[in-house]
Amino acid sequence: MAKTVTRWEDLEIYDGLVYRWKKSPRTGELDFMQLLLPCSQVEKALHQCHAKTVAGHFGIQKTTDQVRRRFYWSTWKADTKRFCQLCAECTGYHRGKLAKQEPLQPV
């Protein structure tokens, strides 16, 4: 279910694209603009922030930071986490915590 935009004063159109001004959590002042992303562009944006020029398979936290600074859609945080967890290159390299191994047995 899509969320309704309630802060119209935070929106701005630039070059035919809609951006949202984001307030800094520290100062409360308008700090940067996020592109309001249509659903059709979410996968592409996630791929750019996680694996292309912006980042390099740095994991969930750094990818989340990249997405937060650039884009906004209603489910961005959950989508970003899911994208990173399903990344074939990352899951092939980072297999999580290794299973405990038993001590070697004499043969």
* Residue predicted with more confidence, 50 or 52: 50
List residues bridging with 17 in a β-sheet. 14
Of 86, 10, 102, residue with least CA distance to 51:
86
User: Given this model, what pLDDT does residue 1 score?
Assistant: 46
Q: For the segment 59-93, what is each residue's pLDDT rounded down to a tens digit?
A: 889 899 889 889 999 899 999 999 988 888 877 76
Which residues fall within 8 angstroms of residue 28, CB to CB, at 6 or more apart?
none
| CA 45 to chain centroid | 8
Q: How many CB atoms lie within 10 A of CB 23?
A: 13
Of 81, 78, 58, 76, residue with least CA distance to 22:
76
Mean pLDDT score across all residues of the chain: 80
Residue boundaries of the structural domains of the chain: 7-36, 38-91
* Residue predicted with more confidence, 11 or 103: 11
List residues bridging with 15 in a β-sheet. none
At residue 22's C-alpha, the angle toward residues 17 and 26, to 5°, is 160
**Given a cut of 80, is residue 37 above it in pLDDT?**
yes
